Structure 1
Amino acid sequence: MTPFNFFFLLYFLLIPTSGYFQPLEDDGFISGVISNKGLDFAKDLLIEKGIDTIVLLKLPEIENTAQVALVGNAKVVLSDITIKDVQVNSSSVVIGESGIVVVVSGATVDLSMKWKYTVSSWLIGISDHGTASIKVEGMQVGLTLNLKNQEGGLKLSLLDHGCYVGDLSIKLNGGAAWLYQVLIDAFQENIASSVEEGISDKIKEGIEKLDNSLQTLPKQIALDKTAALNVSFVGNPVLTNSSLAIAINGLFTRTSEILVPRSYKNGYKVSSACGGLPKMIKVSIHENVLKSASLVYFNAGKMQIIIDELPDQNLLNTAEWRFVVPQLYKRYPNDDMQINISVSSLPVIQVGYQDIGATLSVDITIDVLEGGEVIPVACISVDVSASCGVEILGNNIAGRLTLQNFSAYLKWSKIGKLHIHLIQVMAANYDGNSLSANRGKAPYIYPTQTRAVGSLVR
């Protein structure tokens, strides 16, 4: 795991939780909040990945001299000082007005190193070399981070950071008896400082890389050839003593439109009136997001679906309808058909506490396929009101769809009158999962589970 990946996890510590954003007029948001429970989970994951970046870290070579009784002036060099393992005793994450504070305390660090020394005097010259192991106990690491909005992006700042080494012990493999005391007296502080500086530098390096990466985050993501999502950040992240929240603009635009940076106003607020934070993460979508998506796809003429395949393919042949619509079969005997369904006016979308409601006006055009030509023969206008909701059941996502109102009337016809009430009855008993259609002309959603279908209102 690279230092960048380690500190990229810090970014997830700075993403959303309970409560909701109070948007400025005509703005829509996708927002989220991370509660203390979610922050603790992210903190534990962050520490685990952070250890991966520290293990095998090589510290600079240390050289020093010491006067040794009966031996002389000894020059000692410590090299290949490598962190081999890190064990964390306790950790915490605290949110304050100044930023997010992550603290690791009581950590134990195991290191290995090589040593060598030379002693030169007017009498003798002595040299030796070997290895040693080092154990650091009671190490503490802390960092304070802050996130701010910078022209729709995020600016990550490292306000404070540091590492403190507690007790340090050295175990020599070989060497003269006097060497151990020399290492303790002359090198203990050097080794401790090297560990502190090495870990502190890693923290600073990782935050700088993460901040550079945050600056490259796109402000607009193309979803398909029609729509793009404005993912620029709105307002500064909001920190409370129990959560942290961030919002993005979240509005849909045409892919051909160029996102122009705008000035972001202050005053975006997070309300904690949702009643506690029992979940790790909460995400909320303002209804303006859904309305903007609806507007983009409607104006682009993409709210259309052509049905040319059914489980019972005979239903798409005029012969099947000869008793219901005699004129259709008389004018086009044994010809195939297709159903062209298109939304005729901008859908009305309302987001409630537990569900999403929508009112659609749809034109259903019956087309006859004759000699390679598509011939529209009748059009039925349908007004539908429905609501849907999504919930998590164990490891599954369940959908709930309720049909609230349904009305239909004949808009125009080249084949005489149609029995609209039969179509209403068919719609009331229709199982949407039995439909196999050419969905290439419109965005669509596959429901994981249909929970209920509402009653028909005539």
Structure 2
Amino acid sequence: MSCSTSRVKMYLCCWLALVALIPVTLNTNPGVKVKLTAKGLEYGRQLGMASIQQKLKSIKVPDMSGKQRVSPIGKVRYSLTNLRMVDVGLPKSALDLVPGTGVRLSIGNAFLRLRGNWRVKYLRIIKDRGSFDLNVNGLTITTSVAMKSDETGRPGVSTVSCVATVGSAKVKFHGGASWLYNLFRKFIDKALRGALQKKICPLVADAVSDLNPELKTLNVVAKVDKYAEIEYSMVSAPIVSTSSIELGLKGEFYNIQKHQEPPFSPTAFSMPPQSTNMLYTGLSAFTANSAAFVYNTAGTLSLSITDDMIPKGSPIRLNTKTFGAFIPQIAERFPGLMMKLLVKTVKNPVITFEPNNATVQATCTVTAYAIQPNTTLSPLFVLNLDTSVSARLVVSGLRLAGSVTLNQMDLTLGKSYVGEFQVRALNNIFQIVLKIVVIPILNVQLAKGYPLPALGKMKLVNTQLQVLKDYMLIGTDVQFNR
């Protein structure tokens, strides 16, 4: 083998090793998408302006002093102290999306009203003092904000640039000799304008940074129950377009004790260009099926049914007398005994979303036992049960809840311990058992709901839910309670 051939192979191995180190999440489709619309951005602008206004009210301009030669009296020493904000106005602002980057906030025609004290000394021995008002008008602020994903998988923001311009700063003095301070008014105007311009952008940057603690409240790992949790970490950077900001979240259920990937992956899906609501959340069939995988793997999708779980008014009882009417050999071999049914899934249930229809297909076994007087269980038969249920989904608070109804079921004989019998004769019994026992128990669990991705004290209002092809879409407005 030539040296050049060996070198090529070595380079190839190195490249393969590097590719293997690339995080899997780079090519991971999101299981959940969250889209913030222009209406949502407008609500965000209102909250942001309130925050910036509070920041500007906290402006603290340090005491200033200096000396200026003023004709005809010579050098005048001055000091401005105790400068404090009394009013802030932000009458005009706009928040625009910058595709691929983030947002740009523009504030125009803003004004500030400040008050302070002045003091002067001239001709070495003559002093004067008083108060003054500072009116700042024509203030404009333009800041660009970048959006990214932080190390925890949560969204984060940072200030990229900021420009603040003070149109005019006019001082009105009170007290003292008016002829005196009118001589050096223009110097004071300039000094105060410069001092304010230096303060504004850092305060705006602080207001932007203050958003990050709020964004860090995203429930990237939300506990569901003692078995499962759902992960909502971001799988890529936010996608900023001309009309919305879209976040791609993992949206996968995991076993709390052991994270195990299911034998399937999320497929790509696109949300429709809707803008009626502030926020849209798309939950894919992958998310629902990852839940089914977790619960099935944990062995929780099984149910033991005894006669005390059957409503008292039901003509169907779980005993060998009832079943003996359809399978005579049961009554003959196990007379007068109560029975027990064990319903257990044998593979992961499959959830599918079609327009206006959510369906769950489940393949189970039903094992019937006769309960002996000493509580020993004697197996009678094993049935294969294929069921289809329709799911009704609702949003309750910050949780997705649901309920199911039986569509159809199919019984086949898996194994009999009592000889041959016609399985079809048991159809009515098992339909009743499913409808009055299994499905109500399942609906109690589904009614508890599963946490949706949410920030802090967010509240959903005007919520609507649609089931579409391969995903469900939740449209909602939001409110933040502080």
Judge same fold: TM > 0.5, yes or no. Answer: yes
- Where in structure 2 are there 5+ consecutive unaligned residues? 1-24, 262-266, 325-329, 451-482
Selected match of 2:40 from 34, 38, 41 = 38
Q: CA deviation at 1:157?
A: 3.7
Selected match of 1:102 from 105, 109, 115 = 105
**Which residue is equivalent to 1:137?**
137
How far does the alpha carbon of each residue in 1:258-280 deviate from its partner, in whole angstroms, 9 at most, with x for none?
A: 699xxxxxxx99857x2553332
Q: CA RMSD in A?
A: 4.6
**Which residue is equivalent to 2:57?**
55
In 2, Cα distance between equivalents of 1:392 and 1:222: 17
Q: CA deviation at 1:144?
A: 0.8
Q: Superposed, which structure 2 residues align to 1:345-356 within 5 Å?
A: 345-356=347-358
Selected match of 2:409 from 399, 406, 415 = 406
User: What letter corresponds to residue 281 of structure 2 in structure 1?
Assistant: V
Q: CA deviation at 1:93?
A: 1.5
What SS does the aligned partner of 1:301 have? coil
Select between 183-192 and 204-213 the one with higher mean Cα deviation. 204-213
CA contact (8 A) 2:346 2:364 kept: yes
CA contact (8 A) 1:90 1:106 kept: yes
CA contact (8 A) 1:76 1:115 kept: no
CA contact (8 A) 1:365 1:376 kept: no
How far does the alpha carbon of each residue in 1:359-413 deviate from its partner, in whole angstroms, 9 at most, with x for none?
A: 01234456788889584766554321123243679x9999675533222356567
User: What letter corresponds to residue 103 of structure 1 in structure 2?
Assistant: S
Q: CA deviation at 1:30?
A: 0.9
CA contact (8 A) 1:383 1:407 kept: yes
Selected match of 2:79 from 77, 81, 84 = 77
Q: CA deviation at 1:242?
A: 1.3
User: What letter corresponds to residue 99 of structure 1 in structure 2?
Assistant: G
**Which residue is equivalent to 1:147?**
147
In 2, Cα distance between equivalents of 1:187 and 1:63: 10
Distance 1:150 1:99, change over 3 A: same
What SS does the aligned partner of 2:447 have? coil
**Which residue is equivalent to 1:288?**
286
**Which residue is equivalent to 2:299?**
301
Q: CA deviation at 1:328?
A: 7.6
CA contact (8 A) 2:145 2:161 kept: yes
User: What letter corresponds to residue 204 of structure 1 in structure 2?
Assistant: A
Identity %: 18
User: What letter corresponds to residue 95 of structure 1 in structure 2?
Assistant: L
In 2, Cα distance between equivalents of 1:179 and 1:376: 110
Distance 1:50 1:312, change over 3 A: farther
Q: CA deviation at 1:282?
A: 1.5
**Which residue is equivalent to 1:191?**
192
What SS does the aligned partner of 1:76 have? strand
User: What letter corresponds to residue 133 of structure 1 in structure 2?
Assistant: D
CA contact (8 A) 2:362 2:388 kept: yes
User: What letter corresponds to residue 405 of structure 1 in structure 2?
Assistant: Q
CA contact (8 A) 2:52 2:204 kept: no
1:249 aligns with 2:259: no
**Which residue is equivalent to 2:203?**
202
CA contact (8 A) 1:58 1:80 kept: no
CA contact (8 A) 1:32 1:247 kept: yes
Distance 1:163 1:249, change over 3 A: same
In 2, Cα distance between equivalents of 1:48 and 1:367: 68
Q: Superposed, which structure 2 residues align to 1:406-445 within 5 Å?
A: 406-409=409-412, 420-426=426-432, 430=436, 435=440, 444-445=446-447
CA contact (8 A) 2:76 2:120 kept: yes
User: What letter corresponds to residue 423 of structure 1 in structure 2?
Assistant: I
CA contact (8 A) 1:141 1:164 kept: yes
CA contact (8 A) 2:130 2:173 kept: no
- Where in structure 1 are there 5+ consecutive unaligned residues? 1-22, 261-267, 449-458
Distance 1:206 1:46, change over 3 A: closer
User: What letter corresponds to residue 294 of structure 1 in structure 2?
Assistant: A
How far does the alpha carbon of each residue in 1:290-310 deviate from its partner, in whole angstroms, 9 at most, with x for none?
A: 222221221111223456797
CA contact (8 A) 2:359 2:391 kept: yes
TM-score (norm 2): 0.68
**Which residue is equivalent to 1:231?**
232
1:93 aligns with 2:95: yes
**Which residue is equivalent to 1:390?**
393
What SS does the aligned partner of 1:58 have? coil
Distance 1:350 1:58, change over 3 A: same
Q: How many residues align?
A: 409
In 2, Cα distance between equivalents of 1:339 and 1:207: 60
